[in-house]
Amino acid sequence: MRALWAELTLGWRRAVRGPFLAALTVALALCLLALPGRDDPGLTRTGFGVSLAWCLLLVSALWCGGTAYALDRDRRRLTLAFTKPIRRWTLWWGRFLGTLAPFAAAVAAVGLCLAIRPLPEGRAVAAPVGLPDLTPQAQAWLDGLREQGQLPKGASEARLLRAVRETFEKRPVALEPGQAKTYRFPAVDRPGPVTFRLSGRPFLGAREAIRLAVTAECDGKRVTLRPDRLRDYGFAVDLPAGFAAPGKPLTFTLTREDAEGAGTVLYRERADVALLSGGQGPAANLAAFCLTALLTVAMAVALGLALGCAFSLPVTLFTGSLALLAVAAAALSPETFVLDEIRSVWTRVGTAVSACVAWPFRGLVALNPLRCLLDGEAIGAAALLRIFVTAVLPWCVACSLAATLTSVTDEDR
Protein backbone atom coordinates (compact mmCIF):
# COMPACT_ATOMS: atom_id res chain seq x y z
CA MET A 1 0.00 0.00 0.00
CA ARG A 2 2.85 2.36 0.82
CA ALA A 3 4.53 1.64 -2.51
CA LEU A 4 1.26 2.23 -4.35
CA TRP A 5 0.75 5.54 -2.57
CA ALA A 6 4.32 6.59 -3.41
CA GLU A 7 3.76 5.80 -7.09
CA LEU A 8 0.40 7.55 -7.05
CA THR A 9 1.76 10.79 -5.62
CA LEU A 10 5.16 10.75 -7.30
CA GLY A 11 4.25 13.07 -10.14
CA TRP A 12 2.46 15.44 -7.79
CA ARG A 13 5.46 15.71 -5.47
CA ARG A 14 7.79 16.29 -8.39
CA ALA A 15 5.51 19.00 -9.78
CA VAL A 16 5.12 20.78 -6.43
CA ARG A 17 8.88 21.12 -6.02
CA GLY A 18 9.34 22.44 -9.55
CA PRO A 19 8.19 25.57 -11.37
CA PHE A 20 5.00 23.88 -12.54
CA LEU A 21 2.99 24.75 -9.43
CA ALA A 22 4.02 28.41 -9.52
CA ALA A 23 3.15 28.65 -13.21
CA LEU A 24 -0.30 27.17 -12.66
CA THR A 25 -0.91 29.44 -9.68
CA VAL A 26 -0.06 32.51 -11.76
CA ALA A 27 -2.22 31.32 -14.65
CA LEU A 28 -5.19 30.64 -12.38
CA ALA A 29 -4.76 34.00 -10.62
CA LEU A 30 -4.73 35.84 -13.94
CA CYS A 31 -7.87 33.98 -15.04
CA LEU A 32 -9.64 34.86 -11.81
CA LEU A 33 -8.58 38.51 -12.05
CA ALA A 34 -9.87 38.66 -15.61
CA LEU A 35 -13.32 37.40 -14.67
CA PRO A 36 -16.07 40.03 -14.96
CA GLY A 37 -17.47 41.88 -12.01
CA ARG A 38 -21.07 41.64 -10.95
CA ASP A 39 -21.92 44.84 -12.79
CA ASP A 40 -20.58 43.50 -16.08
CA PRO A 41 -23.41 42.69 -18.52
CA GLY A 42 -21.38 39.72 -19.72
CA LEU A 43 -22.09 38.04 -16.40
CA THR A 44 -25.71 37.40 -17.27
CA ARG A 45 -24.88 35.95 -20.70
CA THR A 46 -21.96 33.63 -20.11
CA GLY A 47 -21.83 33.32 -16.36
CA PHE A 48 -19.20 33.38 -13.68
CA GLY A 49 -19.57 29.67 -13.07
CA VAL A 50 -18.84 28.53 -16.62
CA SER A 51 -15.70 30.65 -16.87
CA LEU A 52 -14.41 29.46 -13.52
CA ALA A 53 -15.20 25.86 -14.43
CA TRP A 54 -13.23 26.26 -17.65
CA CYS A 55 -10.24 27.54 -15.68
CA LEU A 56 -10.42 24.58 -13.32
CA LEU A 57 -10.70 22.17 -16.23
CA LEU A 58 -7.69 23.68 -17.99
CA VAL A 59 -5.58 23.61 -14.83
CA SER A 60 -6.60 20.02 -14.14
CA ALA A 61 -5.73 18.99 -17.69
CA LEU A 62 -2.26 20.50 -17.25
CA TRP A 63 -1.90 18.76 -13.89
CA CYS A 64 -2.81 15.46 -15.52
CA GLY A 65 -0.34 16.03 -18.31
CA GLY A 66 2.40 16.85 -15.82
CA THR A 67 1.74 13.90 -13.52
CA ALA A 68 0.86 11.11 -15.96
CA TYR A 69 4.29 9.51 -15.91
CA ALA A 70 5.34 5.98 -15.11
CA LEU A 71 8.17 5.25 -12.67
CA ASP A 72 10.92 3.31 -14.42
CA ARG A 73 12.55 1.40 -11.54
CA ASP A 74 15.45 0.16 -13.64
CA ARG A 75 16.63 3.51 -14.98
CA ARG A 76 15.43 5.44 -11.92
CA ARG A 77 13.77 8.04 -14.14
CA LEU A 78 10.33 9.37 -14.77
CA THR A 79 9.34 8.16 -18.22
CA LEU A 80 6.36 8.93 -20.41
CA ALA A 81 3.91 6.05 -20.30
CA PHE A 82 3.81 5.43 -24.04
CA THR A 83 7.60 5.05 -24.29
CA LYS A 84 7.68 1.71 -22.50
CA PRO A 85 5.26 -1.19 -21.94
CA ILE A 86 3.23 -1.45 -18.77
CA ARG A 87 4.17 -4.61 -16.88
CA ARG A 88 3.10 -3.89 -13.32
CA TRP A 89 -0.57 -3.69 -12.44
CA THR A 90 0.21 -1.71 -9.29
CA LEU A 91 2.18 0.79 -11.33
CA TRP A 92 -0.65 1.15 -13.85
CA TRP A 93 -3.33 1.53 -11.18
CA GLY A 94 -1.24 4.05 -9.28
CA ARG A 95 -0.71 6.19 -12.34
CA PHE A 96 -4.34 5.75 -13.36
CA LEU A 97 -5.75 6.86 -10.02
CA GLY A 98 -3.25 9.67 -9.61
CA THR A 99 -4.19 11.23 -12.93
CA LEU A 100 -7.86 10.35 -13.20
CA ALA A 101 -8.79 11.67 -9.75
CA PRO A 102 -8.04 15.36 -10.48
CA PHE A 103 -9.59 15.03 -13.92
CA ALA A 104 -12.79 13.62 -12.40
CA ALA A 105 -12.73 16.38 -9.79
CA ALA A 106 -12.57 18.98 -12.56
CA VAL A 107 -15.53 17.38 -14.31
CA ALA A 108 -17.45 17.42 -11.03
CA ALA A 109 -16.54 21.09 -10.58
CA VAL A 110 -17.89 21.85 -14.04
CA GLY A 111 -21.15 20.09 -13.19
CA LEU A 112 -21.43 21.90 -9.87
CA CYS A 113 -20.78 25.29 -11.43
CA LEU A 114 -23.32 24.41 -14.10
CA ALA A 115 -25.95 23.67 -11.49
CA ILE A 116 -25.37 26.94 -9.61
CA ARG A 117 -24.41 29.17 -12.53
CA PRO A 118 -26.16 32.57 -12.74
CA LEU A 119 -27.23 31.94 -16.32
CA PRO A 120 -30.79 32.02 -17.60
CA GLU A 121 -32.33 28.74 -18.61
CA GLY A 122 -31.43 27.17 -21.91
CA ARG A 123 -32.99 28.88 -24.90
CA ALA A 124 -35.07 27.64 -27.79
CA VAL A 125 -34.31 29.44 -31.03
CA ALA A 126 -36.87 30.44 -33.67
CA ALA A 127 -36.01 31.82 -37.10
CA PRO A 128 -38.13 34.42 -38.90
CA VAL A 129 -41.08 33.14 -40.91
CA GLY A 130 -42.64 34.53 -44.06
CA LEU A 131 -39.38 35.44 -45.77
CA PRO A 132 -39.41 35.32 -49.59
CA ASP A 133 -38.86 31.93 -51.20
CA LEU A 134 -35.47 31.91 -52.90
CA THR A 135 -36.15 28.88 -55.09
CA PRO A 136 -37.47 30.91 -58.08
CA GLN A 137 -34.42 33.20 -57.94
CA ALA A 138 -32.07 30.23 -57.78
CA GLN A 139 -33.87 28.54 -60.68
CA ALA A 140 -33.69 31.72 -62.78
CA TRP A 141 -29.98 32.03 -62.08
CA LEU A 142 -29.39 28.42 -63.17
CA ASP A 143 -31.45 28.99 -66.31
CA GLY A 144 -29.24 31.95 -67.16
CA LEU A 145 -26.13 29.82 -66.76
CA ARG A 146 -27.67 27.12 -68.93
CA GLU A 147 -28.40 29.59 -71.72
CA GLN A 148 -24.80 30.81 -71.60
CA GLY A 149 -23.45 27.26 -71.61
CA GLN A 150 -21.75 27.73 -68.24
CA LEU A 151 -23.80 25.24 -66.23
CA PRO A 152 -21.45 23.01 -64.19
CA LYS A 153 -21.31 19.40 -65.31
CA GLY A 154 -21.26 16.30 -63.17
CA ALA A 155 -23.99 17.43 -60.74
CA SER A 156 -27.72 16.89 -60.79
CA GLU A 157 -30.23 19.70 -61.25
CA ALA A 158 -31.55 19.29 -57.72
CA ARG A 159 -28.07 19.47 -56.21
CA LEU A 160 -27.19 22.61 -58.15
CA LEU A 161 -30.50 24.22 -57.20
CA ARG A 162 -29.95 23.42 -53.54
CA ALA A 163 -26.41 24.79 -53.62
CA VAL A 164 -27.49 28.04 -55.28
CA ARG A 165 -30.39 28.46 -52.87
CA GLU A 166 -28.09 27.97 -49.89
CA THR A 167 -25.71 30.53 -51.35
CA PHE A 168 -28.54 33.04 -51.68
CA GLU A 169 -29.63 32.33 -48.11
CA LYS A 170 -26.15 33.17 -46.83
CA ARG A 171 -26.04 36.41 -48.79
CA PRO A 172 -26.05 39.34 -46.33
CA VAL A 173 -28.44 42.25 -46.51
CA ALA A 174 -27.61 45.82 -45.52
CA LEU A 175 -29.60 48.01 -43.16
CA GLU A 176 -29.18 51.57 -44.38
CA PRO A 177 -29.56 54.69 -42.18
CA GLY A 178 -33.25 55.43 -41.63
CA GLN A 179 -34.30 52.05 -43.04
CA ALA A 180 -36.54 49.58 -41.20
CA LYS A 181 -37.01 45.84 -41.72
CA THR A 182 -39.85 43.78 -40.27
CA TYR A 183 -39.61 40.15 -39.19
CA ARG A 184 -42.39 37.85 -38.03
CA PHE A 185 -41.91 34.97 -35.60
CA PRO A 186 -44.22 32.14 -34.57
CA ALA A 187 -45.94 32.07 -31.21
CA VAL A 188 -43.78 31.36 -28.17
CA ASP A 189 -44.85 28.12 -26.53
CA ARG A 190 -42.28 28.08 -23.72
CA PRO A 191 -42.43 30.01 -20.46
CA GLY A 192 -39.60 32.31 -19.55
CA PRO A 193 -37.89 35.40 -20.95
CA VAL A 194 -38.14 36.23 -24.65
CA THR A 195 -35.17 37.81 -26.42
CA PHE A 196 -34.68 39.28 -29.89
CA ARG A 197 -31.16 38.68 -31.12
CA LEU A 198 -29.03 39.88 -34.03
CA SER A 199 -25.74 37.95 -34.32
CA GLY A 200 -23.07 37.07 -36.87
CA ARG A 201 -20.74 40.09 -36.46
CA PRO A 202 -23.09 42.47 -38.30
CA PHE A 203 -21.32 45.75 -37.56
CA LEU A 204 -18.56 47.19 -39.72
CA GLY A 205 -16.80 50.51 -39.34
CA ALA A 206 -17.71 52.90 -36.54
CA ARG A 207 -19.87 50.68 -34.36
CA GLU A 208 -20.31 53.40 -31.72
CA ALA A 209 -22.06 55.66 -34.26
CA ILE A 210 -24.76 53.11 -35.10
CA ARG A 211 -28.14 53.60 -33.41
CA LEU A 212 -30.66 50.77 -33.60
CA ALA A 213 -34.19 50.38 -32.28
CA VAL A 214 -36.32 47.24 -32.05
CA THR A 215 -40.12 47.62 -32.00
CA ALA A 216 -42.02 44.53 -30.87
CA GLU A 217 -45.74 43.92 -31.43
CA CYS A 218 -47.87 41.11 -30.04
CA ASP A 219 -51.63 40.84 -29.55
CA GLY A 220 -52.16 44.59 -29.89
CA LYS A 221 -49.31 45.50 -27.54
CA ARG A 222 -46.33 47.50 -28.74
CA VAL A 223 -42.98 48.32 -27.16
CA THR A 224 -39.77 49.91 -28.48
CA LEU A 225 -36.41 48.75 -27.17
CA ARG A 226 -32.97 50.20 -27.84
CA PRO A 227 -29.82 48.16 -27.17
CA ASP A 228 -27.56 50.10 -24.85
CA ARG A 229 -24.36 48.57 -26.17
CA LEU A 230 -23.53 47.00 -29.53
CA ARG A 231 -20.84 44.34 -29.54
CA ASP A 232 -18.87 42.83 -32.39
CA TYR A 233 -20.97 39.69 -32.43
CA GLY A 234 -24.29 41.57 -32.34
CA PHE A 235 -26.82 42.46 -29.67
CA ALA A 236 -29.79 41.04 -27.82
CA VAL A 237 -32.75 42.78 -26.19
CA ASP A 238 -35.18 41.21 -23.72
CA LEU A 239 -38.90 41.78 -23.97
CA PRO A 240 -40.77 42.90 -20.85
CA ALA A 241 -42.16 40.11 -18.70
CA GLY A 242 -45.59 39.00 -19.87
CA PHE A 243 -45.36 40.82 -23.19
CA ALA A 244 -45.46 37.67 -25.35
CA ALA A 245 -48.99 36.30 -25.20
CA PRO A 246 -49.35 32.49 -25.44
CA GLY A 247 -50.37 31.36 -28.90
CA LYS A 248 -49.87 34.81 -30.46
CA PRO A 249 -47.20 35.48 -33.10
CA LEU A 250 -44.70 38.28 -32.61
CA THR A 251 -43.56 40.95 -35.04
CA PHE A 252 -40.27 42.82 -34.72
CA THR A 253 -39.24 45.92 -36.66
CA LEU A 254 -35.52 46.62 -36.75
CA THR A 255 -34.87 50.31 -37.44
CA ARG A 256 -31.62 52.14 -37.95
CA GLU A 257 -32.02 55.59 -36.40
CA ASP A 258 -28.62 57.15 -37.06
CA ALA A 259 -28.35 59.42 -40.10
CA GLU A 260 -24.59 59.75 -40.51
CA GLY A 261 -23.99 56.32 -42.01
CA ALA A 262 -20.52 56.10 -40.47
CA GLY A 263 -20.93 52.39 -39.81
CA THR A 264 -22.38 49.51 -41.80
CA VAL A 265 -24.90 46.90 -40.69
CA LEU A 266 -24.71 43.63 -42.66
CA TYR A 267 -26.43 40.42 -41.59
CA ARG A 268 -28.08 37.27 -42.92
CA GLU A 269 -31.81 37.35 -42.37
CA ARG A 270 -32.26 33.59 -42.13
CA ALA A 271 -29.27 32.86 -39.90
CA ASP A 272 -28.46 35.95 -37.84
CA VAL A 273 -31.96 37.11 -36.86
CA ALA A 274 -33.55 34.92 -34.19
CA LEU A 275 -36.00 34.90 -31.32
CA LEU A 276 -34.92 33.16 -28.12
CA SER A 277 -37.41 31.82 -25.61
CA GLY A 278 -37.18 29.78 -22.42
CA GLY A 279 -36.05 26.21 -22.84
CA GLN A 280 -34.47 23.50 -20.71
CA GLY A 281 -33.33 24.39 -17.23
CA PRO A 282 -30.12 23.71 -15.27
CA ALA A 283 -31.20 20.21 -14.27
CA ALA A 284 -31.71 19.18 -17.89
CA ASN A 285 -28.42 20.79 -18.84
CA LEU A 286 -26.66 18.89 -16.07
CA ALA A 287 -28.18 15.60 -17.18
CA ALA A 288 -27.16 16.25 -20.78
CA PHE A 289 -23.66 17.13 -19.67
CA CYS A 290 -23.26 13.95 -17.61
CA LEU A 291 -24.47 11.79 -20.49
CA THR A 292 -22.25 13.42 -23.06
CA ALA A 293 -19.27 13.41 -20.69
CA LEU A 294 -19.54 9.63 -20.31
CA LEU A 295 -19.69 9.22 -24.06
CA THR A 296 -16.73 11.55 -24.40
CA VAL A 297 -14.58 9.48 -22.05
CA ALA A 298 -15.45 6.36 -24.04
CA MET A 299 -14.57 8.17 -27.25
CA ALA A 300 -11.24 9.37 -25.83
CA VAL A 301 -10.25 5.87 -24.72
CA ALA A 302 -11.26 4.42 -28.09
CA LEU A 303 -9.25 7.10 -29.88
CA GLY A 304 -6.22 6.38 -27.71
CA LEU A 305 -6.45 2.68 -28.48
CA ALA A 306 -6.85 3.40 -32.19
CA LEU A 307 -3.67 5.48 -32.14
CA GLY A 308 -1.75 2.59 -30.60
CA CYS A 309 -1.52 4.29 -27.21
CA ALA A 310 -3.19 1.62 -25.11
CA PHE A 311 -3.10 2.57 -21.42
CA SER A 312 -1.32 5.78 -22.35
CA LEU A 313 -2.99 8.16 -19.96
CA PRO A 314 -1.18 11.33 -21.09
CA VAL A 315 -2.48 10.94 -24.62
CA THR A 316 -5.90 9.76 -23.48
CA LEU A 317 -6.33 12.54 -20.94
CA PHE A 318 -5.24 15.32 -23.26
CA THR A 319 -7.48 13.94 -25.99
CA GLY A 320 -10.28 13.63 -23.48
CA SER A 321 -9.74 17.21 -22.33
CA LEU A 322 -10.15 18.53 -25.87
CA ALA A 323 -13.17 16.31 -26.45
CA LEU A 324 -14.70 17.26 -23.11
CA LEU A 325 -14.40 20.95 -23.91
CA ALA A 326 -16.09 20.34 -27.24
CA VAL A 327 -18.88 18.35 -25.59
CA ALA A 328 -19.31 21.07 -22.99
CA ALA A 329 -19.88 23.43 -25.90
CA ALA A 330 -23.04 21.53 -26.69
CA ALA A 331 -24.13 20.53 -23.20
CA LEU A 332 -23.21 23.44 -20.95
CA SER A 333 -24.34 26.53 -22.80
CA PRO A 334 -27.26 25.99 -25.17
CA GLU A 335 -27.97 29.72 -25.06
CA THR A 336 -24.64 30.78 -26.54
CA PHE A 337 -24.44 32.39 -29.94
CA VAL A 338 -22.71 29.48 -31.66
CA LEU A 339 -24.74 26.45 -30.65
CA ASP A 340 -28.23 27.84 -30.29
CA GLU A 341 -29.63 25.56 -32.97
CA ILE A 342 -28.44 22.35 -31.27
CA ARG A 343 -31.32 20.96 -29.22
CA SER A 344 -31.02 17.19 -29.12
CA VAL A 345 -28.50 15.50 -26.85
CA TRP A 346 -27.57 13.05 -29.59
CA THR A 347 -27.12 15.89 -32.04
CA ARG A 348 -24.85 17.55 -29.51
CA VAL A 349 -22.76 14.41 -29.19
CA GLY A 350 -22.48 14.05 -32.96
CA THR A 351 -21.52 17.69 -33.36
CA ALA A 352 -18.89 17.47 -30.63
CA VAL A 353 -17.38 14.27 -32.04
CA SER A 354 -17.28 15.62 -35.59
CA ALA A 355 -15.76 18.88 -34.36
CA CYS A 356 -13.00 17.02 -32.49
CA VAL A 357 -12.23 14.64 -35.34
CA ALA A 358 -12.38 17.20 -38.13
CA TRP A 359 -10.75 20.09 -36.31
CA PRO A 360 -10.03 19.91 -32.54
CA PHE A 361 -9.83 23.66 -32.15
CA ARG A 362 -13.27 24.04 -33.68
CA GLY A 363 -14.74 22.41 -30.61
CA LEU A 364 -12.94 24.91 -28.40
CA VAL A 365 -14.17 27.82 -30.51
CA ALA A 366 -17.70 26.46 -30.26
CA LEU A 367 -17.47 26.44 -26.49
CA ASN A 368 -15.90 29.90 -26.54
CA PRO A 369 -15.40 30.05 -22.75
CA LEU A 370 -13.04 33.01 -23.10
CA ARG A 371 -15.86 35.28 -24.26
CA CYS A 372 -16.61 36.16 -20.66
CA LEU A 373 -12.93 36.69 -19.90
CA LEU A 374 -12.24 39.02 -22.82
CA ASP A 375 -15.03 41.57 -22.47
CA GLY A 376 -17.65 39.47 -24.14
CA GLU A 377 -15.92 39.33 -27.52
CA ALA A 378 -15.83 36.14 -29.57
CA ILE A 379 -12.59 34.22 -30.05
CA GLY A 380 -11.59 33.06 -33.51
CA ALA A 381 -9.75 29.89 -34.42
CA ALA A 382 -6.50 31.73 -35.14
CA ALA A 383 -6.57 33.56 -31.81
CA LEU A 384 -7.32 30.37 -29.89
CA LEU A 385 -4.55 28.50 -31.69
CA ARG A 386 -2.16 31.33 -30.87
CA ILE A 387 -3.14 31.17 -27.18
CA PHE A 388 -2.61 27.41 -27.14
CA VAL A 389 0.78 27.55 -28.87
CA THR A 390 2.15 30.46 -26.84
CA ALA A 391 0.70 29.68 -23.39
CA VAL A 392 -0.29 26.03 -23.00
CA LEU A 393 2.01 24.06 -25.28
CA PRO A 394 5.36 25.43 -23.97
CA TRP A 395 4.48 24.53 -20.38
CA CYS A 396 3.38 21.05 -21.39
CA VAL A 397 6.63 20.47 -23.30
CA ALA A 398 8.76 21.92 -20.50
CA CYS A 399 7.10 19.81 -17.82
CA SER A 400 7.34 16.70 -19.96
CA LEU A 401 11.07 17.22 -20.56
CA ALA A 402 11.70 18.03 -16.91
CA ALA A 403 9.87 14.95 -15.70
CA THR A 404 11.48 12.72 -18.31
CA LEU A 405 15.08 13.86 -17.78
CA THR A 406 15.04 14.31 -14.01
CA SER A 407 16.35 11.42 -11.94
CA VAL A 408 14.18 9.93 -9.24
CA THR A 409 15.72 10.20 -5.79
CA ASP A 410 15.17 7.91 -2.87
CA GLU A 411 12.86 10.38 -1.18
CA ASP A 412 10.55 10.16 -4.18
CA ARG A 413 10.03 6.50 -3.45
CA distances from 234 to 9, 88, 380 (A): 48, 56, 15
Give the containing element (helix H, strand E) for 360: helix 360-367
- Options 3.40.640.10, 3.90.1580.10, 2.60.120.380, 3.30.1490.190; CATH of 125-278: 2.60.120.380
Edge to edge, what strands does the sheet with 273-278 contain?
Answer: 123-126, 273-278, 195-198, 235-238
Q: How far is CA 346 from CA 168, 330, 342, in A?
A: 30, 10, 9
What does DSSP say about strands 173-174 and 195-198: parallel, antiparallel, or unpaired? unpaired
Label the pairing between strands 195-198 and 235-238. Answer: antiparallel
Of 20, 56, 46, 52, the C-alpha closest to 34 is 52
- Which pLDDT score, from 0 to 100, does residue 257 have? 85
User: Residue ranges of the domains in the chain?
Assistant: 2-121+311-322+367-412, 125-278
Over residues 310-348, the pLDDT tens digits come to 334 444 455 555 555 544 544 444 333 333 333 444 444
Q: Amino acid letter at 375?
A: D
The sign of the torsion formed by the CA atoms of 115, 117, 118, 122 equals: negative
The whole-model pTM stands at 0.46
Structural contact between residues 55 and 31, judged by C-beta atoms closer than 8 angstroms: yes
Alpha-carbon distance 369 to 381, whole Å?
13
Residue of higher predicted confidence among 36 and 397: 397
Q: What is the pLDDT of residues 105-126, one digit of tens each?
A: 555 555 454 444 433 445 566 7
Higher pLDDT, 193 or 323: 193
73-116 per-position pLDDT tens digit: 444 444 444 333 444 444 444 444 444 455 555 555 554 544 44
**So what's the pLDDT on residue 23?**
54
* Per-residue confidence (pLDDT) for residue 87, from 0 to 100: 44
Q: Convert the pLDDT of each residue in 364-413 to its tens digit.
A: 333 333 333 333 333 344 544 555 555 555 555 554 444 444 444 444 33
Which residues are paired to 267 by β-bridges? 173
